[in-house]
């Protein structure tokens, strides 16, 4: 993006402050890898000229992006991109919760025993009213809020799991190693929603920020559903890829309303 293009994204009469507009433009460049991890940003003077705003505006923008973990300012050297987007393969069987992520922390927000409503009963192929443990957790990585996860465990499949669910315990490890549950197939759906007030407060983002909404159902070898979860991920912290072969016909793209 050249100087004219950068200046064109700034609207001086817009309700959003100038620093916020510059911030969103730089975030866009970081997320789209115009600037990648380790790259040095242009100087404050250069950015000021490119965007047609004051150096004070640029300084505030850089300060906020540094506080949020996207940039790192080094005395005498400049400002560097610190953010490294987590890339996940959508067709991958496991996700970030498989225990392989470094610096991943789990915090239980709530856990409760509930009765299966019609939706959960259909997912697990059980009767409405059956007892299910609902677990809600917040995931952070390297100290940054990353994802909200809601997971469901039928008590008939996982007796006593309520007491075993603790902070920083991988539920997948627990299910596989303690309950000897083998996952044979996974069905995932991917959508995008906007953060409400509750999600924004937990993920330290602004209300309305895009979130990936991913639901998954795991099946055993008998094609019986044995695990269901839905997690929300900050769109600025992750990107998804999808790899398919030419002869595969099981990948579907559904538009809202279909």
| Residue 85: predicted pLDDT | 58
The domain limits of the chain are 3-81, 86-241
Average confidence (pLDDT) per 10 residues, the chain, 258 residues: 55 76 85 82 92 92 85 87 62 51 80 95 95 95 85 96 92 91 88 89 85 91 94 79 62 45
Paired with 189 in beta bridges are 215
CATH number of this structure's domain 86-241, picked from the four choices 3.40.50.1100, 3.30.70.20, 3.40.1410.10, 3.30.43.10: 3.40.1410.10
pLDDT, residue 103, reads 64
- CATH top class, domain 3-81: mainly alpha
DSSP 224: -
Report the 10 Å Cβ neighbour count for 184.
13
The confidence score (pLDDT) of residue 174 equals 92
Q: Are 122 and 130 in contact (CB under 8 A)?
A: no
* Alpha helix (H) residue ranges in the chain: 3-8, 18-31, 44-51, 55-67, 118-124, 161-164, 171-173, 197-203
Give the model's pLDDT for residue 258: 35
Q: Same topology for domains 3-81 and 86-241, yes or no?
A: no
DSSP at 97 = G
């Amino acid at each position: 993006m050249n100087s004219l293009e950068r200046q064109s994204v700034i609207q001086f009469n817009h309700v959003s402050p100038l620093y916020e507009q510059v911030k969103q433009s730089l975030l866009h460049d970081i997320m789209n890898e115009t600037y990648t991890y380790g790259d040095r940003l242009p100087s404050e003077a250069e950015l000021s000229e490119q965007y047609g705003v004051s150096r004070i505006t640029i300084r505030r923008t850089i300060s906020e992006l540094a506080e949020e973990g996207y940039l790192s300012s080094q005395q005498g050297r400049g400002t560097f991109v610190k953010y490294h987007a987590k890339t996940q393969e959508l067709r991958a069987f496991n996700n970030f919760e498989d225990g392989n992520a470094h610096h991943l922390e789990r915090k239980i927000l709530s856990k409760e025993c509930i009765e299966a409503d019609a939706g959960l009963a259909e997912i697990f192929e059980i009767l409405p009213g059956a007892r299910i443990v609902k677990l809600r957790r917040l995931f952070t990585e390297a100290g940054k809020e990353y994802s909200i996860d809601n997971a469901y465990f039928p008590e008939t499949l996982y007796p006593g799991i309520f007491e075993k669910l603790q902070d920083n315990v991988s539920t997948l490890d627990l299910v596989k190693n303690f309950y000897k549950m083998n996952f044979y197939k996974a069905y995932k759906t991917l959508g995008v929603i906007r953060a409400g007030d509750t999600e924004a407060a937990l993920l330290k983002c602004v209300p309305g920020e895009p979130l990936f909404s991913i639901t998954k159902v795991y099946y055993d070898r008998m094609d019986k559903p044995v695990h269901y979860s839905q997690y929300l991920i900050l769109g600025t912290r992750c990107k998804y890829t999808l790899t398919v072969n030419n002869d595969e016909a099981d990948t579907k793209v559904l538009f809202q309303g279909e």
